[in-house]
């Protein structure tokens, strides 16, 4: 019954806003039926990913694929290369969406799972993955650049994620770095007071 409900939610004709947490539901479903993962659900997941435009839906569906990569990367790569979504290899559809949306992914668990899955794909050294071309996207320009080999795009995305993590964090009001004292700021009707 759960699988038929998830399959109905994965229908490409269903509006995206009807299932905002579809990816996280799929993660739980695959966790319960593991190690036997239904290939029809994976195909429906990649098809829904291809049609999706909302970053939250894309993030959830990418998380499903990242979890599957952690379970068995070779089997998933083979399956996605054998299937097509509107005359495109399933792996190309996944990688195009994933690599463009990776900087937009929010949440510590989701970010860690997707980045580590990308690193796992990069270290896989699969010749079919190395021959795959994905959309090259320069965030400083509004147009798409020519396609580039998938490992290069994966590596540049991983470096970009690392740069984002290494960037200094904003200091919240009331926190002073480099001092041993602890300050807290309270706002009252008269203005700011530090204690």
pLDDT in tens, 113-153: 999 999 999 999 889 999 999 987 655 555 666 888 999 99
pLDDT at 175 over 90: no
pLDDT value of residue 183:
46
Where do the domains of the chain lie?
Answer: 2-194
Query: Contacts for 93-98 with beta carbons within 8 Å, 24 or more apart?
Result: 93/46, 93/49, 93/50, 94/46, 94/49, 94/62, 94/65, 95/132, 95/134, 95/150, 95/153, 95/154, 96/134, 96/135, 97/49, 97/50, 97/52, 97/58, 97/62, 98/62, 98/65
* pTM for this predicted structure: 0.77
Percentages helix, strand, coil for the chain (3-state, rounded to 5) are 60, 10, 30
φ, ψ dihedrals at 121, nearest 5°: -65, -40
Model confidence over 23-80: pLDDT tens digits?
Answer: 888 888 888 876 777 788 899 999 999 999 888 899 999 999 999 999 999 999 999 9
10: helix, coil or strand?
coil
On the 0-12 / 13-18 / 19+ scale of CB atoms within 10 A, 164 is: exposed
């Amino acid at each position: 019954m759960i699988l038929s409900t998830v399959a109905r939610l994965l229908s490409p004709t269903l509006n995206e806003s009807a299932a905002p947490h579809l990816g996280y539901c799929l993660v739980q479903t695959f966790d319960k039926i593991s190690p036997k993962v239904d290939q029809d659900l994976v195909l429906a997941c990649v098809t829904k990913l291809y049609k999706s435009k909302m970053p939250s839906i894309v993030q959830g569906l990418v998380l499903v694929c990242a979890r599957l990569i952690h379970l068995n990367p070779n089997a998933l790569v083979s399956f996605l290369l054998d299937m097509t979504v509107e005359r495109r290899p399933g792996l190309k559809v996944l990688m195009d969406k994933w690599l463009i949306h990776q900087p937009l992914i929010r949440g510590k668990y989701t970010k860690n799972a997707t980045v580590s899955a990308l690193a796992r794909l990069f270290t896989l050294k699969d010749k079919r993955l190395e021959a795959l071309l994905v959309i090259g996207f320069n965030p400083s320009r509004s147009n798409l650049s020519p396609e580039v080999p998938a490992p290069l795009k994966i590596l540049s995305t991983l470096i970009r994620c690392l740069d984002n993590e290494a960037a200094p964090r904003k200091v919240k009001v009331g926190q002073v770095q480099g001092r041993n004292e602890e300050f807290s700021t309270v706002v009252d009707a008269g203005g700011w007071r530090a204690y």
